[in-house]
Amino acid sequence: MSLKSLLKAELVLAKQDIVSKKRVLESLSEVASNRLHCDNEAVYDALLGREKLGSTGIGNGIAIPHCRLESANHTAIVIMSLQNPIDFDSIDKRSVDLIFALIVPPHECDQHLATLAQIAELAQSPQALDQLRAAQTNEDLFNIFDSLI
């Protein structure tokens, strides 16, 4: 499944004023649960459970929180930029300001790994990251991400 097919305008949030990793996960859960028509708490618990295994902060100011969720009927990706970078326990100790959350049903494991790889590859491009960070509105962030994938 391609990133482009997963991208939905209502799941792209620019310049969010969130100050903690916990609140980011809560916000991602709220947005994703509405899209997936599943329980907000279940999404949060799944994302938090994955974070407890090890931070999804991959470096360069990027985090990719992700989980498999039994009650998800399809895959969702939530893209979020933050007004101010926050501590995310990233591997490079750098604060995070770009978040790409992925919630998938258990039967889409192969697509899950391929999508994570696509996001990680995008995160290696300083030019792409600069463009994403410059987006001031949800629509701008959506359009920039869409043009990069």
* CA dihedral for 121, 115, 42, 9, sign (positive or negative): positive
Looking at residue 61, what DSSP letter applies? T
Residue 42, amino acid: A
Of 66, 74, 107, 112, which residue is the catalytic one?
A: 66
First-to-last alpha carbon distance for the chain, in angstroms, is 12
Rounded Cα–Cα distance for residues 100 and 91 (Å): 16
Q: Is 101 helix (H, G, I), strand (E, B) or coil?
A: strand
Is 66 tagged catalytic?
yes
Tell me phi and psi for residue 3, to 5 degrees.
-60, -40
Task: Outline where the chain has alpha helix (H).
Answer: 3-6, 21-36, 40-53, 109-122, 126-134, 138-148
Catalytic residues: 66
